[in-house]
Amino acid sequence: MNYSNNVFKVALLLIIFWVECLIVFARGKDHDLGLGASFVFGDSLVDAGNNNYLQTLSRANIRPNGIDFKPSNGNPTGRYTNGRTIGDIIGEELGQPNYAVPFLAPTATGKTILHGVNYASGGGGIMNATGRIFVNRLSMDIQVDYFNITRKEIDKLMGATQARVYVMKKSIFSVTIGSNDFLNNYLLPVLSIGQRVSQTPDAFIDDLISHLSAQLTRLYKLDARKFIVGNVGPIGCIPYQKTINRLSEDECVALPNKLALQYNARLKDLLAQLNQNLAGATFVHANVYDLVMELIQNYAKYGFTTASKACCGNGGQFAGIIPCGPTSSMCSERDKHVFWDPYHPSEAANVIIARQLLQGDPKYVSPITLRQLRDL
């Protein structure tokens, strides 16, 4: 009788042991969910490959784009730079185990989405009409629609209660958009395509702010609480603008920069209002304009040899007309150029920008840094 009891006890202990092992194993698989998710919205500055799956004229899945992107062994992924985007770098620095997967990629299924999803699209803008010269692209409205789909999937994966906590308290929503609304909408030289033919700058920027406010509020209603929103950089200083306007190395085109600054002032006010009016939300303002301008004006201080000429491109003094592709000329020292192509920063520049946003000067990121946002 005692022998039977002992056997029973041993068997029971073994069962308990194996159950605990299974629990530990399961937790081990999902332990990094404690780091939360990164949901990325925006344009080509942070597109991680969504445009690969669109019939569009705006693509970066051609060599030598991605030549320094280690996870792909230097093969193009759809990122509009030689290596990592700002979004990639920020995710790494915040401890994310994986890059946010492009929403349109076949791999954006199951538990993969719990580490984050990238909705950004080259050519996309705040306004739905922005970027139509590229035929297809994902506007910010569509990107928020797609997050709504993801949000429902997270409920299925985690259960409604746990999913809401995960999205609200553990996830960061980054928004990098607005440049195309000027470059590939309002400032387009072809009449009837750009909005300049029918709107004053003030009216157009009013529309931008109104639409963006609605888009951010939609995300809030889908349980987003931690936001980082970037303003528009000095778009009058990119190699493309310098080249087509035949400027000297230390000049920038005045009108695009003026419009960017006008929009940026309104954006800062909007984020302050949203911080006040949307209970429990934190909107961090990323002053990309001043940060990139600092790199352009003081490039040597940061180890660059030029802030005017594209590393990869063709045409004109600054290689700023033809986008980066197989027939482009390419510089030998990619980490010495602020700009990778006529429009986009190099990975080296992205690293500096990202690190400032993670834990930098309040004039570049406010009211808190991204590390502080993560830890809220």
344 annotated active-site: yes
Alpha-carbon distance of 111 to 120, in angstroms, equals: 20
- Show the tokens assigned to 271: 């984020």
**In this structure, are residues 121 and 134 in contact, taking their beta carbons and an 8 Å threshold?**
no
Alpha-carbon distance of 47 to 245, in angstroms, equals: 27
- Show the tokens assigned to 197: 């033919």
Q: 329 phi and psi, to 5 degrees? A: -80, 150
Alpha-carbon distance of 332 to 312, in angstroms, equals: 10
**In this structure, are residues 277 and 222 in contact, taking their beta carbons and an 8 Å threshold?**
no
Pairing of strands 172-176, 38-42: parallel
Dihedral angle, C-alpha 140, 144, 146, 150, nearest 10 °: 150
**In this structure, are residues 242 and 251 in contact, taking their beta carbons and an 8 Å threshold?**
yes
**In this structure, are residues 224 and 280 in contact, taking their beta carbons and an 8 Å threshold?**
no
Phi-psi region of 157 (alpha: psi -120 to 50; beta: other; left: phi over 0): alpha
Q: How far is CA 55 from CA 51, 52, 105, 124, 138, in A?
A: 8, 8, 14, 14, 11
Show the DSSP H helices in 278-346 as ranges: 288-297
Pairing of strands 282-286, 365-366: antiparallel
Pairing of strands 329-330, 312-313: antiparallel
Tell me which of 38, 308, 341, 346 is the catalytic residue: 341
Q: Tell how many helices (H) and how many strands (E) occur in the chain.
A: 11, 9
- Show the tokens assigned to 178: 């607005």
CA atoms within 13 A on the CB side of 25: 6
44 annotated active-site: yes
Q: CB-based contacts of 297: which residues, under 8 Å, 6+ apart?
A: 307
Tell me which of 115, 285, 337, 344 is the catalytic residue: 344
CA atoms within 13 A on the CB side of 216: 31
Tell me which of 44, 139, 171, 179 is the catalytic residue: 44
What amino acid positions are annotated as catalytic residues?
44, 341, 344
